[in-house]
Amino acid sequence: MQQNAEIMTPFGIEIDLETGAMPKATNHIKRNASDMRGYYQDADALERLIAAADPLHYEVFEHPVPEVPGHLMYCISKLYPGTVGRECFMTKGHYHTISETAEIYLCLRGEGQMVMKTAAGRFDAKPMRRGMMVYVPPLWAHRSVNTGNEPLVSFCVYPADAGHNYGDIEVEGFPSRVFLIDGEVVIR
């Protein structure tokens, strides 16, 4: 058998499938409203939110593995509910740096949408709710959006060497946004 990767000792860790809590997570990424400047349509509404409380927007909990081919990175993504104007709280969204890498999101809690786009201009959105698995194929940028009133929690798995390319989405954005208008989810 060919042996390129270093031998790693197997491990198991606990994940609470109701809340997404991963007690052994060692990496904790936090994004507040003030980290989201430039992402929402209503920039003034975002500034008001920042001035009022600068609430926590989303968190990612990771128990890292080596970022080399063959390994699988996995994490819990927890996106809080809320709106900026009428636009639902969302993650920044990204392509993978190695763009030919896919990702699986298994939704554990909450309600939302996974919005996706390709560089060539295709757009798609898939609903997220407990028990839904969204498969993000290679080449699709992805952003999760919370349309509900509790945290949107997902377990994500992707190739550990994939990397995150935020710059292209900062420039291009997504062709559609997700709003809550009179209690209805509107993607436009």
CA distances to 13, 35, 55, 151, 185 from 49, rounded to whole Å, are 36, 12, 8, 18, 21
Q: CB-wise, 7 or 146, nearer to ligand PAN?
A: 146
> How many residues interact with Zn ion (rule CB under 5 A)?
1
Q: Which residues pair with 129 in a beta bridge?
A: 111
Min. distance of Cβ 93 from Zn ion in angstroms?
Answer: 9
Q: Which of the listed partners (Zn ion, ligand PAN, none) does 113 bind, with a CB threshold of 5 to 8 Å by partner kind?
A: none
Using a CB cutoff of 8 Å and minimum separation of 24, what contacts does 36-40 make?
A: 36/84, 36/92, 38/170, 39/90, 39/92, 40/84, 40/85, 40/87
Q: How far apart are CA 155 and CA 26, in angstroms?
A: 16
Q: Which of the listed partners (Zn ion, ligand PAN, none) does 75 bind, with a CB threshold of 5 to 8 Å by partner kind?
A: ligand PAN
**126 lies in the binding site for ligand PAN (CB under 6 A):** no
Contact with ligand PAN (CB under 6 A): which of 63, 71, 86, 92?
Answer: 92
Min. distance of Cβ 143 from ligand PAN in angstroms?
Answer: 6
Asked if residue 126 lies in contact with residue 172, where contact means CB atoms within 8 angstroms, the answer is: no
What are the phi and psi torsion angles at 25 (to 5°)?
-60, 135
**87 lies in the binding site for Zn ion (CB under 5 A):** no
Q: How far apart are CA 142 and CA 162, in angstroms?
A: 13
| CA dihedral of 145, 103, 75, 19, whole degrees rounded to 10 | 50
**60 lies in the binding site for ligand PAN (CB under 6 A):** yes
Q: Which of the listed partners (Zn ion, ligand PAN, none) does 77 bind, with a CB threshold of 5 to 8 Å by partner kind?
A: ligand PAN
Residues in the chain: 188
Q: CB-wise, 22 or 156, nearer to Zn ion?
A: 156
Contact with Zn ion (CB under 5 A): which of 20, 78, 101, 103?
Answer: 103
- Using Cβ positions, the residue closest to Zn ion within the complex turns out to be 103
Which residue ranges make up the site for Zn ion (CB under 5 A)?
103
Binding region for ligand PAN (CB under 6 A) = 60, 75, 77, 91-94, 103, 142, 144, 156, 158, 164
